[in-house]
Structure 1
Amino acid sequence: MLEKPLLTTDRLVLRRWRHGDREPFAAMNADPEVMEHFPDTLSAEQSDALVDSIESGFEQRGFGLWALEIAETGRFIGFTGLSVPRFEAHFTPAVEIGWRLTRSSWGHGYAGEAARRALAFAFDDLALAEVVSFASHSNLRSQKVMERIGMTHDPADDFDHPALDEGHPLRRHVLWRITAEGRRDRPGR
């Protein structure tokens, strides 16, 4: 398993997945509070399959959802990174930025800090023109992160997630965007 690319911030390390991440990742994915804005929690087998899929994405594309750890302690706290949505919508094909953190890691600014680093990689290393993010309409915490990292929301872009049935309470999704030209962390800004 390749360790590159490894991304760092002042407090965090975004890295490839290790076998030891699987147990805390499964515990996080089984937490109903963490998974509140997803259709269901994940079993340990489903969580392991997700890690395998993420790692396959790194091998295929050179980017993915990095395992996230606190630099000072090495404690695994979730993931942040880039992925390619597997469904068709008015904004696909696209590269999405996303995150999922352990409940104990909420409220410390980790999601935004890691997301800003992942966006820098998307624009500076991958030379992407745009990155999107989406979440269920009710996921206000993630939408606040999207706003804090400089993404913009146009309600005309909102959509019904095709993997969720008509009438499902999480079906309506908001779409946020950020372009390489519009990012706030560019030199000279």
Structure 2
Amino acid sequence: MPDEPVLLTSRLSLRRWREADLEPFAALNSHPEVMEHFPAPMTREQSDDLVRRIEAGFDERGYGLWALEVLATGQFIGFTGLSKPSFEAHFTPTVEIGWRLARSAWGNGYAPEAARAALAFGFDKVGLKEIVSFTAVPNLRSQSVMRKIGMTHAPADDFDHPGLRPDSPLHRHVLWRITAERWRAGEAE
């Protein structure tokens, strides 16, 4: 797995995945609070498979869900980055920004800090015109990050996730958006 840093913020490195990330990523993916707004925690095999798919996406597109590391300590704390949703909806095809951090990393402002770097990469390096984010309605923490990074929510965009059963409390999703134009205007303020 490639090892070079891809994006740096004042406190974080958003980089390609390393073999040493697999174990802490599996622990993160099996944590009940971290996975509260997903259908179920992941097994080690599912977690490792996700990293393989993420890395394949980097090789294919040149971007993906970067491994997130705290610069001061070298600690792996999760991921933040860009991906292409694998399902069809009224807003696809599109590029989504997402994040998943270890419970111990919550509350430090890491998710919005890393997300801003990923947005800048998507707009400035990839040339995207719009980036979306979505989550289950009850996931207020992720919606707070979306708000902090300048995304907007229009309730008419909300949707039922096709990969979840209609009786699941996670079935209904909110969709947030940000355009390159809005991003650049926000950066200038």
Give the TM-score band, short-chain normalised: over 0.9
* Alignment of structure 1 residues 1-189 onto 2, 5 Å: 1-3=1-3, 6-183=6-183, 188-189=188-189
Q: Which amino acid aligns with 1:124?
A: D
Match for 2:170: what amino acid?
L
Structure 1 portions without partners, runs of 5+: none
For 1:187 and 1:150, how far apart are their aligned partners in 2? 10
CA distance in 2, matches of 1:119, 1:78: 17
Residue 166 of structure 1: how far off its partner (Å):
1.2
Alpha carbons 2:5, 2:13 under 8 Å: kept: no
Aligned length: 189
Distance (Å, rounded) in 2 between the aligned partners of 1:19 and 1:103: 21
CA distance in 1, matches of 2:37, 2:187: 35
Question: What CA distance in whole angstroms lies between the structure 2 residues aligned with 1:108 and 1:122?
Answer: 23
TM-score by length of 1: 0.97
Task: Name the CA distance, whole Å, in 2 between partners of 1:93 and 1:18.
Answer: 29
Q: Could you tell me how far 1:50 is from its partner in structure 2?
A: 0.3
Deviating beyond 2 angstroms after TM superposition, the runs of 4 or more aligned structure 1 residues are: 1-5, 184-189
More helix by share: 2
Q: CA RMSD in A?
A: 1.2
- 1:173 partner letter: H
Counterpart CA distance in 1 for 2:138 and 2:39 is 13
| SS of residue matched to 1:175 | strand
**Following TM superposition, by how much is the alpha carbon of 1:184 offset from its aligned partner in structure 2, in angstroms?**
5.5
Does the aligned pair in 2 maintain the 1:150–1:184 contact within 8 Å? no
Deviations along 1:54-89, one digit per CA (max 9) or x if unpaired, are 000000000000000001111000000000000000
Distance in 2 between the 1:85 and 1:182 partners?
A: 22
Letter in 2 for 1:25: F
In the alignment, the residues of structure 1 paired with residue 159 and residue 75 of structure 2 have an alpha-carbon distance, to the nearest angstrom, of: 36
Rounded to whole Å, the distance in 1 between the matches of 2:76 and 2:93 is 31
Counterpart-to-counterpart distance in 1, 2:178 and 2:86:
20
Return 5+ residue gaps in structure 2 as ranges. Answer: none
Q: Aligned to 2:108, what secondary structure does the other structure show?
A: coil
Deviation at 1:161, TM superposition (A): 0.2
Aligned-residue offset at 1:2: 3.3
* 1:183 alignment partner, SS class: helix
Task: Give, as a single letter, the amino acid of the residue that structure 2 aligns with 1:31.
Answer: H
The Cα offsets for residues 36-58 of structure 1, whole Å up to 9 and x where unpaired, read as 00000000000000000000000
Query: Under a length normalisation based on structure 2, what TM-score does the superposition of the two structures give?
Result: 0.97
Corresponding letter in the other structure for 1:29: N
